[in-house]
Amino acid sequence: MRPFDPRLARYARATIPYLVVCVVLGGAAAVLVIAQSWLLAHAIATLSVPAALLAVFAGRAVLAWLQEVAAHRASAGVKAQLRAAVLRAVTREGSAPGSSGALAALVTRGVDALDPYFARYLPQLVLAVVVPVTVLAALFALDPATAVIVAVTLPLIPLFGVLIGTYTAARTRRQWRALSLLAGHFADVVAGLTTLKVFGRARAQLAKIEEVSGEHRKATMASLRIAFLSALALELAATLSVAIVAVSVGLRLLHGGMPFETALFVLILAPEAYLPLRQVGTHFHAAQEGLAAAEEIFAVLPEEQKKAAPSPFPAQDGPPRVAIAGLVARPGLPPLDLVLEPGTSTALMAPSGTGKSSLAAVMLGLLTPHAGRVDLDGRALGEGTDWDGLRRTVAWMPQKPYLFPGTVAENIALAVPGAPDDAVRAAARATGAYPDRVLGENGHGLSAGQRQRVALARVHLRCALLPVTLVLLDEPTAHLDAATELDLAGGIERLAEGRTTLLITHRRGLADHADLTVVWSAAQEKTGALL
């Protein structure tokens, strides 16, 4: 495992000043530790009481406080920057890779694993480099013999650490996997408690919980034994090294070959050279979890790529003509040819699984098609398109409208950021949505019909406030009964007037309201007008 991932610095600029702060604080801490050792040795040897000792401790207290505050600043800054980077990256793509729930968990709770990494591990890593070097320099100045012993034994600590780590890596990984399975068992059966109760199996799980939990304990202990043993090995190596220094110093002291003050100084200072190196190991898990979280974030972030600035979307003098040729939105779907004449409405009927919804996504630049092309007034949509400009001229209703907790009015207003309240209410009236009704998570509390009305009201709002020339409606009456469908169809017809409209549906009743109906079947590639 690398101790530091350079991509952290690339995506989160807050990392670099923090590293600098860590080095400065670490250097100051090393100097203060040396001063403290020297003052203590001096005081004991000469039977004096140096007031400077108090100043040194005060200095160390200030450093500790600064370190804590700096670690927090860095950690919060890095997390915010990574979060923003992920959100910017996925909004450029227009869709979240994988499940949005997992990604949300990653950018919120997931990145918290970086806290101990920044607060504990990184400063310790810096200390592990700065302190031994500084201490060695001080020892060289006063007692070269000890400095040589320390210089020779010091590398043993990281060497032992790496050797033990390599030897146990495969085993640890294997156990880690088994552990995470066992660890999830209790949460799993608790989550499934109602199901267990339905089948009369709740109490039967007690023995199983005891068994799995016991296995978990054994597996955990097996992996902990290795971790603790390696910590013990490192501690004993450090103790032994200090003992060698002590023997050499003690012998010289016994034979009068060394001043008492120097001997004391060396013995108080020597363990300080080994301590930070050993402590890096104790924060190993913090480091691993932090880097794993960062790794997951980096997997979401695309490689930086330079895109040519798109030419601005040209002003339109009327509804556009849309020509779709051989379009395959996703691999495996049948190709589609379709022309939407300016100012007319076209109903596209197709069975599920033919990629109707992907069609709207392609026209909005949310999805790069697998093959084929879409021309808008003769200009191909693609790399050079000013999507933001184009989207201002489109009103789209997706198949599964996105609803968030809040009032229906707030949900409608989402369609045009900053829309005035009376326009929102007019849009709600147009589709029979209740603007003051309050929604729960995921639109909870609304019937299927009300959801469709809210989504359709968004389209009305866009058409009322923006220069919309293209209307895309994806299954606007799914889940609705025939009466309600008829009720909404009138509004849809009004929306379509003077605009190029694509109505994706599988309901014959609704398709009849369009100027033209096209049936697209997966088996035949040819499209035909059936009106």
Partner 1 sequence: MNSIRARLTLGAALGAGALVCGIGLMATSGWLISRANQQPPVLYLMVAITAVRTFGLGRGVLRYTERLASHDAALRLLTRTRVAVFDRLADLAPGRLGASRTLGLVVTGVDGVADRWLRGRIPMFSAVVAALAALTLQTWLLPEAGLVLLASLALGGVAAPLVAASAVRRATVREARGRDRMSEVATRTLHGLPELVAYGAVPDRLAELEKADAELDRATGRSAWSLGVADGMTLLSCGAAVFGALALAVPAARAGDLDPLYVAVLALTPLAAFEAVTALSSSAQQMLRSRADDALLARVLDAEPPVTDPDAPTPLPHGVALRVRDLRVRWPDADRDALDGLDLDLPPGRKVAVFGASGAGKSTLAAALLRFTGYTGSITLDGVELADLAGDDVRRVIGLCAQDAHVFDTTVAENVRLARPGSSDAEVAAVLRRAGLDLPLDRRVGEHGAAVSGGERQRIALARALLADFPVLILDEPDAHLDEDTADRVLADLLAAAGDRTVLLITHRPGVPGADPVLRHVDEVITLTAPEPADSVGAAA
Near partner 1 in 44-73, by CB under 8 A: 44, 47-49, 53-54, 56-58, 60-62, 64-69, 71-73
Return the residue matching tokens 């920057």.
81
Shortest Å distance, C-beta 11 to partner 1: 15
- Who's near 352: CB < 8 A, 6+ residues apart? 506
Shortest Å distance, C-beta 186 to partner 1: 5
Q: What are residue 455's phi and psi, to 5 degrees?
A: -65, -40
Shortest Å distance, C-beta 105 to partner 1: 9
Q: Map the footprint of partner 1 across residues 155-194, applying CB under 8 A.
A: 181, 184-194
> Alpha-carbon distance 164 to 152, whole Å?
19
Could you list the beta-strand ranges (E) of 313-411: 322-328, 336-340, 345-349, 371-376, 379-380, 394-397, 406-407
Smaller CB distance to partner 1: residue 6 or 48?
A: 48
Query: Quick check: 402 binds partner 1 (CB under 8 A)?
Result: yes
| Segment lying near partner 1 (by CB under 8 A), choices 75-83, 137-145, 334-342, 497-505 | 75-83
Q: Map the footprint of partner 1 across residues 404-433, applying CB under 8 A.
A: 404, 414-417
Q: Which of 9, 28, 76, 151 binds partner 1 (CB under 8 A)?
A: 76
> Alpha-carbon distance 133 to 131, whole Å?
5
Q: Map the footprint of partner 1 across residues 224-243, applying CB under 8 A.
A: 224-225, 228-229, 231-232, 235-236, 239, 242-243
Shortest Å distance, C-beta 2 to partner 1: 27
Shortest Å distance, C-beta 313 to partner 1: 13
| Segment lying near partner 1 (by CB under 8 A), choices 105-113, 121-129, 338-346, 491-499 | 105-113
Half-sphere CA count of 103, side-chain side, radius 13 A: 19
Smaller CB distance to partner 1: residue 271 or 516?
A: 271
- Encoded amino acid at 519, one letter: V
Q: Are 477 and 510 in contact (CB under 8 A)?
A: yes
Beta strands at 345-349 and 516-519: parallel, antiparallel or unpaired: parallel
Shortest Å distance, C-beta 416 to partner 1: 7
User: Which tokens go with 19?
Assistant: 């590293």
Query: Quick check: 11 binds partner 1 (CB under 8 A)?
Result: no
> Alpha-carbon distance 51 to 69, whole Å?
28
Query: Quick check: 35 binds partner 1 (CB under 8 A)?
Result: no
Q: Which of 1, 16, 20, 84 binds partner 1 (CB under 8 A)?
A: 84
Q: What is the three-class DSSP state of 335?
A: coil
Angle at 452 between CA 324 and CA 506, to 5 degrees: 45
Shortest Å distance, C-beta 529 to partner 1: 25
DSSP one-letter string for 210-257? HHHHHHHHHHHHHHHHHHHHHHHHHHHHHHHHHHHHHHHHHHHHHTT-
Query: Quick check: 524 binds partner 1 (CB under 8 A)?
Result: no
Shortest Å distance, C-beta 217 to partner 1: 4
| Helices 260-282/15-46 angle, 10° precision | 150
Q: Map the footprint of partner 1 across residues 330-389, applying CB under 8 A.
A: 352, 361, 364, 366, 388
> Alpha-carbon distance 60 to 190, whole Å?
48
Shortest Å distance, C-beta 387 to partner 1: 8
Q: Which of 122, 293, 394, 439 binds partner 1 (CB under 8 A)?
A: 394
Smaller CB distance to partner 1: residue 37 or 517?
A: 37
Query: Quick check: 221 binds partner 1 (CB under 8 A)?
Result: yes
Smaller CB distance to partner 1: residue 49 or 309?
A: 49
Shortest Å distance, C-beta 224 to partner 1: 6
Q: Map the footprint of partner 1 across residues 257-316, applying CB under 8 A.
A: 260, 263-264, 267-268
Number of chain positions touching partner 1 (CB under 8 A)? 133
Nearest to 429 by CA among 411, 449, 409, 447: 409
Smaller CB distance to partner 1: residue 47 or 529?
A: 47
Shortest Å distance, C-beta 13 to partner 1: 15
Phi-psi region of 98 (alpha: psi -120 to 50; beta: other; left: phi over 0): left
> Alpha-carbon distance 527 to 504, whole Å?
15
